[in-house]
Amino acid sequence: MRITALAGGIGGARFLRGLRRARPGDDITVIGNTGDDIWVHGVRVCPDLDSIMYTLGNAISVERDWGREDETFVVKEELAAYGVEPTWFGLGDRDLATHLVRTQSLNAGFSLSEVTAALCQRWQPGVTLLPMSDDRAETHVVVDLESGRTAIHFQEWWIRYRAAIPALGFPVIGIDDATPAPGVIEAIAEADIIVLPPSNPVVSIGVILQVPGIRAALGKARAPIVGLSPLIGAAPVRGMADACLRGIGVQTSALAVAAHYGSRRDGGILDAWLLADSDDSMLADVRALGIVCQSAPLLMHDVDATAAMAHAALALVS
Ligand code: GDP
Ligand code: CA
């Protein structure tokens, strides 16, 4: 069986660990969000690809949920001592090696897909990890600062401002000229099941969907598409997805996100939606949208619980 997943960072990575446990014999291809990518201190950082690579490679920091276990931050401190901006970006010493390898390879002319495949040689994630695109397309956030209205890089809004300044929009600069990375359209067209993990609907899944050609490929795919809610009740389980949803005028609820993705019947991307058992009062409203819907425990507190979530999601479309 070929399973294709579209994924952001933490939520995507955790879910994929459960999916891999649930479906050990299957071929899993992951289309990762690269809208979060940023040049910082001269190196190219791909936060979501790295979260997936480190999580599935058992090297993610359990305590921080991003970056490497056993990390030190000597280089970051030294850069700060020079007064070099940005000081708000967390760059660990071990993590830096990944970015140095990536940057050298990109500078030597390799594509991001090629570089990602090479990095995965070390981490053996047990899935094929594809960037959504090899082209630079970075998510920005329109905000009102004291100096006036401006667009700042998503990372600056998320990390430096903790998503506390209201977002007025999320333009992805460069997306119109981006093309899907090699293998992305094939992975969608040839999949037996397509999964949307509980990733951020706006700045993770929402950005992947904006790569020209990807949404159309999902519309035409012969595989059913099933998504899992990143929200339980009126809040994201982790992080600040509510601030992103507010920025695009979507309510923070599993029902509103399902409606935002839409039923494939009506040109949307969902055949089925799994929401949290505590949200089962929304089942009928989601079904009324033309989306198959069930509820299940959706807290990814360990790999077994996450594997059970993956089973429940796949069962909706098998
Ligand atoms: P990011 O790129 O690191 O922000 O990660 P993703 O976009 O892949 O996932 C972020 C989303 O994961 C957030 O909106 C969280 O609500 C969601 N999330 C994190 N942990 C859990 C969990 O245990 N269960 C569910 N259902 N969602 C989760
Ligand atoms: Ca991300």
pLDDT digits (tens, 9 = 90+) for 189-237: 999 999 999 999 999 999 999 999 999 999 999 999 999 999 999 999 9
Those residues with Cβ within 8 angstroms of residue 33's Cβ, 6 or more apart along the chain or in another chain: 6, 7, 8, 9, 12, 48, 132, 199, 203, 204, 205, 207, 208
Q: Could you list the residue range(s) of the whole structural domain that residue 107 is in?
A: 2-135+175-317
How far is 263 from 311, CA to CA, in rounded Å?
21
Nearest protein Cα to ligand 1, atom 25: 230
One digit per residue, the tens of pLDDT, for the chain of length 318 reads: 999 999 999 999 999 999 999 999 999 999 999 999 999 999 999 999 999 999 999 999 999 999 999 999 999 999 999 999 999 999 999 999 999 999 999 999 999 999 999 999 999 999 999 999 999 999 999 999 999 999 999 999 999 999 999 999 999 999 999 999 999 999 999 999 999 999 999 999 999 999 999 999 999 999 999 999 999 999 999 999 999 999 999 999 999 999 999 999 999 999 999 999 999 999 999 999 999 999 999 999 999 999 999 999 999 999
Could you tell me the distance, in angstroms and rounded to a whole number, from the CA of residue 15 to the centre of ligand 1?
9
Tokens of 226: 């099933």
- Does the residue 47 lie in any domain? yes
- Does the residue 248 lie in any domain? yes
Domains in the chain: how many in total?
1
Tokens of 158: 């998320």
Tokens of 160: 């430096």
pLDDT value at residue 301: 95
pLDDT value at residue 50: 98
6 half-sphere exposure, CB direction, 13 A CA radius: 33
Which of 316, 246, 245, 233 is closest to 282 using CA atoms?
233
How far is 75 from 64, CA to CA, in rounded Å?
18
Nearest protein Cα to ligand 1, atom 1: 9
- Does the residue 201 lie in any domain? yes
Pairing of strands 225-228, 272-276: parallel
pLDDT value at residue 255: 98
- Does the residue 204 lie in any domain? yes
Tokens of 16: 């994929």
Q: Which ligand has the nearest atom to the CA of 239?
A: 1
Q: Ligand 1 pocket, 236 CB below 6 A?
A: yes
How far is 13 from 32, CA to CA, in rounded Å?
10
Alpha helices in 9-157 (DSSP H): 10-22, 47-56, 74-81, 93-107, 112-123, 154-155
Nearest protein Cα to ligand 1, atom 12: 11
Q: Are 221 and 264 in contact (CB under 8 A)?
A: no
Q: Ligand 1 pocket, 230 CB below 6 A?
A: yes
pLDDT value at residue 294: 98
Could you write out the DSSP letters of every residue in 86-127?
P-SS---HHHHHHHHHHHHHHHTT--HHHHHHHHHHHH--SS
Q: Ligand 1 pocket, 35 CB below 6 A?
A: no
Count other Cβ atoms within 10 Å, centred on residue 146.
4
- Does the residue 146 lie in any domain? no
How many residues belong to the chain?
Answer: 318
Could you tell me the distance, in angstroms and rounded to a whole number, from the CA of residue 40 to the centre of ligand 1?
24
Q: Ligand 1 pocket, 34 CB below 6 A?
A: no
How far is 159 from 155, CA to CA, in rounded Å?
6
pLDDT value at residue 278: 98
pLDDT value at residue 187: 98
- Does the residue 111 lie in any domain? yes
Q: Which long-range contacts (CB under 8 A, 24 or more apart) does 153-160 make?
A: 153/38, 154/35, 154/36, 154/203, 155/36, 155/38, 155/40, 155/47, 155/89, 156/86, 156/88, 158/240, 159/88, 159/89, 159/90, 160/86, 160/88
For ligand 1, mutation pick of 10, 54, 229 (most atoms within 8 Å of CB): 10
| SS3 label, residue 241 | helix
Could you tell me the distance, in angstroms and rounded to a whole number, from the CA of residue 198 to the centre of ligand 1?
5
Q: Ligand 1 pocket, 9 CB below 6 A?
A: yes
E strands, the chain, in order: 2-7, 27-32, 38-40, 43-45, 128-131, 138-145, 148-153, 172-173, 193-196, 225-228, 231-232, 235-236, 272-276, 292-296
- Does the residue 244 lie in any domain? yes
Count other Cβ atoms within 10 Å, centred on residue 148.
7
- Does the residue 32 lie in any domain? yes
Q: Ligand 1 pocket, 241 CB below 6 A?
A: yes
CA dihedral 48, 51, 57, 63 (to 10 degrees): -170
Q: How far is CA 119 from CA 108, 172, 305, in A?
A: 15, 26, 29
Q: Are 141 and 159 in contact (CB under 8 A)?
A: no
Query: Ligand 2 being an ion, which residues bring their Cβ within 5 A of it?
Result: 8-9, 36, 48
Q: Ligand 1 pocket, 306 CB below 6 A?
A: no
Residue 102's CATH number: 3.40.50.10680
Q: Which ligand has the nearest atom to the CA of 9?
A: 1
